[in-house]
Amino acid sequence: MTHADVTVIFNPRAGGNKQRFLSKILQHAGIRVELLQTTHPGHARELARKVRAHQRLFVAGGDGSLNEALNGLLDAQIDGHEVPPLGVIPLGTANVLAVEVGLERKAKAIADYINNPGQVWIRPGLVNGRAFFLMVGMGADADTVANVSLKLKRMIGKGAYVLEGLRNIFFPRHRDFEVNIGRENYRVAGVVVTHAQHYGGEFIISPTAKLTDNGFDVVLMPGNGIGALSRYGLALTLNRLHEQSDVSVVRSERITITSHCGPAPLQIDGESAGKLPCEISLSPYPVRLMVPQAYAMAAGGVVETGPEPLRLTSG
């Protein structure tokens, strides 16, 4: 790998001391990079769209910044351009994708990953035309993301989501959604359509979900009110939400969701983005995601062993 072939998009608003941690990571990696700093919402999407295919593109920030870059790569593909592989340097609040692929949040481990990444092909999800790596949620989680205090988030990180989540449990909004999956219709108060096992960091929302699968796990939660939301929240912290007697997990490649309670917000990869109704499907444009080598080996991806990559097959 030539040192000049690494581009890093950096979100300087990702939190305190993040620039110092990024400098430490790059020092461990021993590489020079082209560092592109975002200055406004949507800027990572604009920057990623212009990165050339021979580069390796890393996003230093959170899942929201990574989502922007993903959408920029799909914009470029729609325009007929080849795109670079995409990786993450976890500097955000939850870093769900980093947890999902087993990337430790230590400077040395991240530096080793930057220098020697594996690669897997991912078909991102699409919700109303916007791409996502991880998940789409509506109900209490989307209300929490939509109303969390950004000032408090900068001060106490994930704690801001916990406080807003508790407020939503004790003062719940009425939510009533209809989820259409094939010929089946489900009436629920909350739903998460996920491509990933993890949620909100290290909590497991659906142990059968995989980024590399051509489909989603749809987690259906019918209960509303303080009792149900408290039970769901506790079960999630114990990694047992999917085991709740009233919670269903359905596999699908295409989902349509409508609201019977007026315009309700969506959260996409942990960021508030749009409102119901929505259609969710798989993108026709796959992307190469750079991951730790252990994850690539387990997923049957590509592990680089010098100038030529060794392609692994699963099984």
Q: Which pair of tokens denotes residue 264?
A: 């309700």
Split at pLDDT 50, 70, 90, the class of 60 is: very high
The total number of structural domains that make up the chain: 2
Helix%, strand%, coil% for the chain, nearest 5: 35, 30, 35
Do both 273 and 301 map to the same domain?
no
With tokens 């400077």, the residue in question is 107
- Average pLDDT (28-46) is 93
Percent of the chain with pLDDT over 70: 88
Residue 54: pLDDT over 60: yes
Domain extent for 69: 3-124+285-311
Split at pLDDT 50, 70, 90, the class of 215 is: very high
Do both 151 and 240 map to the same domain?
yes
Q: What is the pLDDT of residue 304?
A: 60
Give helix 140-147 / helix 158-170 axis angle, nearest 10°. 120
pTM assigned to the model: 0.90
The Cα–Cα gap between 27 and 29 comes to 5
R_g (Cα) of the chain, nearest Å: 19
Do both 64 and 157 map to the same domain?
no
Do both 157 and 174 map to the same domain?
yes
- Average pLDDT (96-124) is 96
Do both 175 and 297 map to the same domain?
no
pLDDT mean across residues, the chain: 89
Residue 303: pLDDT over 90: no
Residue 148: pLDDT over 80: no
CATH number at 179 reads 2.60.200.40
Q: Which residues contact 83 (CB under 8 A, 6 or more apart)?
A: 51, 53, 73, 76, 77, 287
- Average pLDDT (103-112) is 95
What is the tens place of the pLDDT at every residue in 164-194? 677 777 777 889 999 999 999 999 999 999 9
Q: What is the pLDDT of residue 114?
A: 96
Percent of the chain with pLDDT over 90: 73
Q: What is the pLDDT of residue 251?
A: 97
Do both 134 and 278 map to the same domain?
yes
Q: What is the pLDDT of residue 306?
A: 42
Do both 264 and 296 map to the same domain?
no
Do both 138 and 20 map to the same domain?
no
- Average pLDDT (210-225) is 96
Do both 97 and 166 map to the same domain?
no
The Cα–Cα gap between 89 and 82 comes to 22
With tokens 């096992």, the residue in question is 197
The Cα–Cα gap between 68 and 74 comes to 10
Residue 309: pLDDT over 50: no
Do both 149 and 264 map to the same domain?
yes
Neighbours of 124 (CB within 10 A): 23
Do both 200 and 220 map to the same domain?
yes
What is the tens place of the pLDDT at every residue in 16-30? 688 889 999 999 999
Do both 57 and 33 map to the same domain?
yes
What is the tens place of the pLDDT at every residue in 238-251? 999 999 999 999 99
CA atoms within 13 Å, Cβ hemisphere of 86: 33
9-23, 38-52, 68-82, range with the lowest pLDDT: 9-23
Peptide bond into 284 cis (omega under 30): no
CATH number at 296 reads 3.40.50.10330
Give DSSP secondary structure letters for 77-134: HHTT-----EEEEE-SSS-HHHHHTT--SSHHHHHHHHHS-EEEEE--EEETTEEESS
- Average pLDDT (145-165) is 69
